[in-house]
Amino acid sequence: MEYRYRPQGVCSTEIIIEVENNIIKNLQVANGCNGNLKGISSLVKGMTIDDVISRLKGIKCGMKGTSCPDQIAKALEKIKEE
């Protein structure tokens, strides 16, 4: 199933996550740091939602209280709630 999430407090504007049986099949992030986000997207493919949350949650970007990786974790937490 495909999920869309609007991140807050970061440069990226949309996170699109495809999940099947608790496994991330695809992750796309619109805008933000293109190379870094493509790298993260590639690394999380095949991982479980819980593994990705545990690795990305709480990462900060500079002086911001969040980051694109942290927002990916938040999006995955919302998916788990549903």
Q: What is the pLDDT of residue 78?
A: 97
For position 63, what pLDDT does the model report?
A: 92
pTM: 0.95
Name the token pair of 28. 């796309």
Q: By the 8 A CB rule, do 75 and 17 touch? A: yes
Query: Where do the structural domains in the chain lie, given as residue ranges?
Result: 2-81
Element (H, E) at 19: strand 14-20
What residues does 15 pair with on adjacent strands?
5, 29
Residue type, 59: I
Q: Which residues of the chain have pLDDT under 70?
A: none
Q: Note the pLDDT tens digit of each residue in 52-68.
A: 999 999 999 999 999 99
Top-tier CATH class for 2-81 = alpha beta
